[in-house]
């Protein structure tokens, strides 16, 4: 069954700003994961399974994890904001039907 072109035309396109927010979120989250993995390799004295992440803040390379946490905060906020905007735009589009 073919899609109704009139109905498809009423659905708003995926907003560019939302794409930018989701890309920023992905960058923040991936940066945190990359930093955490790098710290596991740089600190062989700590067991990656049994040690808390806060123990990696102590020592010479603690600044790396601090920067990772600073990037994680806006990344999670951008993810939430981008998802909120996408959900709200879907609800607005559903009201038109």
Domain spans, the chain: 18-95
- Residue 9 predicted with pLDDT over 60: no
Strands (E), the chain: none
Supply the pLDDT for residue 7: 54
- Residue 6 predicted with pLDDT over 60: no
Specify the DSSP class assigned to residue 47. Answer: -
Stated pTM of the model:
0.65
Q: What's the half-sphere exposure (Cβ side, CA atoms, 13 Å) at 24?
A: 18
pLDDT per residue over 19-71, tens digit each? Answer: 777 787 888 889 999 998 999 899 889 898 898 888 989 988 899 999 999 98
| Residue 29 token pair | 């989250």
Three-class secondary structure of residue 12 per DSSP: coil
Three-class secondary structure of residue 30 per DSSP: helix
pLDDT per residue over 63-97, tens digit each? Answer: 999 999 998 888 888 888 777 766 776 666 566 55
């Amino acid at each position: 069954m073919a899609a109704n072109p009139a109905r498809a035309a009423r659905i708003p396109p995926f907003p560019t700003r939302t794409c930018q927010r989701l890309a920023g979120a992905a960058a923040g989250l991936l940066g945190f994961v990359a930093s955490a993995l790098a710290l596991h390799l740089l600190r062989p004295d700590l067991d990656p399974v049994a040690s808390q992440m806060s123990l990696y803040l102590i020592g010479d390379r603690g600044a790396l994890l601090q920067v990772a946490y600073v990037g994680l905060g806006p990344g999670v906020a951008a993810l939430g904001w981008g998802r909120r905007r996408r959900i709200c735009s879907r609800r607005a589009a559903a009201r038109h039907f």
